[in-house]
Structure 1
Amino acid sequence: MPGFVKVRLILLFLLFISGCNNTLTGNVVNSQEHSESGIQTEIYFCPEDDCGKIVTNLIDDAKKSVHCAFYDLDLKDLIKTLGKKSHNADVKIVIEDSNYEGNIKGPGIKIAKASQYMHNKFCVLDNNKVLTGSMNPTNNGANLNNNNLIIVNSGYLAENYEDEFDELWNGLYASGDNVKYREINTNIGLIENYFCPEDCQEGENSMLNLVRKANKSVKVAIFSFTHEDLGDELVKADIRGLDISVLVERRQRNVQKSQYTRLKDFDIGIKVDGNKYNMHHKFIIIDDKIVITGSPNFSYSGYNRNDENFLIIYNENLALEFVNEFDMLFGHGEIV
């Protein structure tokens, strides 16, 4: 795969309180709006960007607290930094049991033992910065697989993620309270935040409604795609004349209920990726203006069983960065 120029997008958000019309969102549920100013957002795509180093440096720069929920963790520099940081900050890590190898130990470590996966990949730093996306902090996740890492400085978003982390820390997996600030209105567009499965009926509806409302195009990059309702909506969107492009991880195309063959049979533009490792993204781009990204695969487990998180961000500049990533990967994909 050819080198990819580092993409770093810093957006300054001015959030405001208003009675904004909810019809522009995918969400069918009204929620209170909140204000916040001076938010910074950074976007990185792995492995072209050094995502492991970026996460390690951000954690090293934290002053008071580092709270992370990881499906998997094996980056040595990150583990060393977490140990060092624990001497002068509140460091707490929840790790999925099925991937825990004992490479990090101590009173600040809890192992998520449940019948479903704790599939998150997020950190909350100093109660004001959120790191999330599709990247597990592993050698594969940062250096070999295609992933995205999004960093948002936001008190409201951080509070949402702190609440979720507290549930995980206290052993409450794949359940808990609904997200406090589901919708945050900003001058550049809306941010929606969901945690699965407790919020994901609404989150799933929002995603499907956005596909239904799309006017021009829907681009999907997904590791595992078995979500039949989303497959239905993509077929309908194609019939309406929209430009539909889907990229699926090669090794996942033939799993049970995979939508790959079905969409290909409808002559929808669908390919498998060209990365000899994994294309691990989980994002959708609507009309090159709206991005849905986070930890869940588009599957029943992703929205109904596993502990997951995702964002929907309504911003054209941000969406275009994801379009660039999608176009690069789709260009190296193939129909099989």
Structure 2
Amino acid sequence: MLDSPAIDLPPPAPVAAATLHYGGVDQPPQALRDLLLARVEAAAPGSEITWATYYFRDPALADALIAARQRGVKVRLVLEGRARRGSVNGPTIERLKAGLGSDLRLHRSWLPGQHLHAKIYTFSGGPEPAAFIGSYNPSGGVDDPKLLRDIGDQDRGENLLVDFRDPDAVEALEAQAMRLWEGRFAFRFGKRANKAKRVGDFAFYYYPRLRTDVVERRLARLGPGDEVKAAVSHMDKGPFASQLVKAAERGARVELVVHDTRRRVSKGVVSELRDAGVEIRRYCDPDGYPMHAKFVIVDHKQVRTAWFGSLNYNFGSRVMNQEILARSADPGLVDAFDVRFDRLAEEAATRSCTGGKHVADAAMKAALP
């Protein structure tokens, strides 16, 4: 019997190390919520879902998690129990308590101002493990105009999630979500625990940590010919802004897109950066949708790196909060961040913040009863 002739099959398509997903005015409403919802609905019995997040108000997503538990998925969820706007999570907490029981846990720090601000969404134990981190809070379902104005429409505003499919990356992120769920925080101040968790082209940094200047150390190396692009929703006059000023003064090109409200990024820090030669624009949306993304791209000696996650560049995130920050040198992912930044910068350049009041704030006030 003759052997069958060999068949030349095309090589399998390479699987991206990580994929950038984003929400915004150019995307369908609830694009990021629907991404998570689809993963929850696809979770098979015997698999596990472990989430840690700050705001959670989406009833459909809550119901999907409860339904997953009922069909045999192990669902663990930890939420901030004392958010800055404490009423945000209230309705969802009651819903989830009834459906998840003790698998829902609330972070309530004894230290004033210390919050669970990380956003980690992991799916493991099934044929396609996945983990998502970024800036997105599933806070849809807000029907209070004052509350919506305060926290921003997370389903329509500029947000991002990075999707990891590498099993080692999923395992690392699930382990961190589990530590948050279990309430193990003191370990963060051990020297060993402050080492970055490295997986391939990625490194994960968990806050609080002994050394908070993860991005700042890279900025301190920059000079002529180097470049920084960053979308920053929250920033104060701290080490991050200071290193951006110094980098610009040394000859690096620095471009920023920041949130339009003065509470999140003050007029003083914007003026200081502009005086140093930083190209900084406020993102103003006429419908009040926030620029909530948090990512930094650094091109240093032709080596391009991106940082992203839940970390805000202010005192609370840097010193107090439970946060996650990731670093990547994956060319495809860095390029995706670059493309998204250019779009944000172009939008910001075509919209004006006038008279000390941003257009979005005026629009939201007009909608109030």
Q: Give me the whole-angstrom Cα distance separating, in 2, the residues matched to 1:90 and 1:56.
A: 16
Residue 168 of structure 1 aligns to a residue in which SS? helix
Paired residue for 2:167?
155
Q: Give me the whole-angstrom Cα distance separating, in 1, the residues matched to 2:237 and 2:173.
A: 26
Residue 316 of structure 1 and its aligned partner are, at CA, apart by 2.5
Q: In the alignment, residue 55 of structure 1 is paired with which amino acid? A: L
1:165 to 177, 199, 206: 177
After superposition, the Cα gap between the structure-2 partners of 1:113 and 1:254, relative to the gap in structure 1 and judged at 3 Å, is closer
Residue 57 of structure 2 aligns to a residue in which SS? coil
After superposition, the Cα gap between the structure-2 partners of 1:40 and 1:244, relative to the gap in structure 1 and judged at 3 Å, is closer
Residue 213 of structure 1 aligns to a residue in which SS? coil
Note the 1:177-196 alignment, pairs <5 A: 178=193, 182-185=197-200, 190-196=201-207
Residue 180 of structure 1 and its aligned partner are, at CA, apart by 7.5
1:95 to 79, 99, 109: 79
Q: Give me the whole-angstrom Cα distance separating, in 1, the residues matched to 2:153 and 2:206.
A: 22
Paired residue for 2:40?
59
Residues 262-306 of structure 1 deviation map (CA, whole Å, 9 limit, x = unaligned): 102223111110222210011101128211000010012112110
Residue 155 of structure 2 aligns to a residue in which SS? helix
User: Does the 8 Å contact 1:253/1:272 carry over to 2?
Assistant: no
**Root-mean-square deviation (Å):** 2.5
Residue 136 of structure 1 aligns to a residue in which SS? coil
User: Does the 8 Å contact 1:254/1:260 carry over to 2?
Assistant: no
Q: Give me the whole-angstrom Cα distance separating, in 2, the residues matched to 1:280 and 1:239.
A: 27
Paired residue for 1:112?
107
Q: In the alignment, residue 192 of structure 1 is paired with which amino acid? A: A
Q: Give me the whole-angstrom Cα distance separating, in 2, the residues matched to 1:181 and 1:250.
A: 32
Paired residue for 2:218?
210
Q: In the alignment, residue 65 of structure 1 is paired with which amino acid? A: E
2:55 to 52, 65, 72: 72
Residue 179 of structure 1 and its aligned partner are, at CA, apart by 6.3
Moved over 3 A (4+): 173-177, 252-258
Q: Give me the whole-angstrom Cα distance separating, in 2, the residues matched to 1:272 and 1:175.
A: 38
Paired residue for 1:34?
none
**Could you say which structure has the larger radius of gyration?**
2
Q: In the alignment, residue 176 of structure 2 is paired with which amino acid? A: E
Range with bigger deviation, 154-163 or 117-126? 154-163
Residue 260 of structure 1 and its aligned partner are, at CA, apart by 1.6
Residue 86 of structure 1 aligns to a residue in which SS? helix
User: Does the 8 Å contact 1:223/1:252 carry over to 2?
Assistant: no
Residue 210 of structure 1 and its aligned partner are, at CA, apart by 2.1
Q: Does 1:286 align with 2:298?
A: yes
The runs of 5 or more residues in structure 2 that have no matched partner are: 1-12, 141-151, 354-369
User: Does the 8 Å contact 1:224/1:252 carry over to 2?
Assistant: no
Residue 162 of structure 1 aligns to a residue in which SS? helix
Q: In the alignment, residue 115 of structure 2 is paired with which amino acid? A: Y
Paired residue for 1:221?
231
Q: Give me the whole-angstrom Cα distance separating, in 1, the residues matched to 2:139 and 2:255.
A: 29
Paired residue for 1:137?
138
User: Does the 8 Å contact 1:284/1:291 carry over to 2?
Assistant: yes
After superposition, the Cα gap between the structure-2 partners of 1:290 and 1:168, relative to the gap in structure 1 and judged at 3 Å, is same
Paired residue for 1:8?
none
Residue 213 of structure 2 aligns to a residue in which SS? helix
Residue 174 of structure 1 and its aligned partner are, at CA, apart by 6.9
Q: In the alignment, residue 197 of structure 1 is paired with which amino acid? A: P
Note the 1:242-281 alignment, pairs <5 A: 242-252=252-262, 259-275=269-285, 276-281=288-293
Residue 313 of structure 1 and its aligned partner are, at CA, apart by 0.5
User: Does the 8 Å contact 1:191/1:311 carry over to 2?
Assistant: yes
Q: Does 1:81 align with 2:76?
A: no
1:310 to 325, 336, 354: 325
Residues 89-140 of structure 1 deviation map (CA, whole Å, 9 limit, x = unaligned): 1001101112421322231211111131100111111154211101111225
1:46 to 23, 26, 44: 23
Q: Give me the whole-angstrom Cα distance separating, in 1, the residues matched to 2:121 and 2:194.
A: 16
User: Does the 8 Å contact 2:258/2:265 carry over to 1?
Assistant: no
Q: Give me the whole-angstrom Cα distance separating, in 1, the residues matched to 2:61 and 2:17.
A: 23
Q: Give me the whole-angstrom Cα distance separating, in 2, the residues matched to 1:51 and 1:163.
A: 23
Q: Give me the whole-angstrom Cα distance separating, in 2, the residues matched to 1:268 and 1:174.
A: 38
Q: Give me the whole-angstrom Cα distance separating, in 1, the residues matched to 2:53 and 2:276.
A: 37
Paired residue for 1:16?
none
Identity %: 20
The runs of 5 or more residues in structure 1 that have no matched partner are: 1-10, 13-37
1:324 to 335, 339, 346: 339
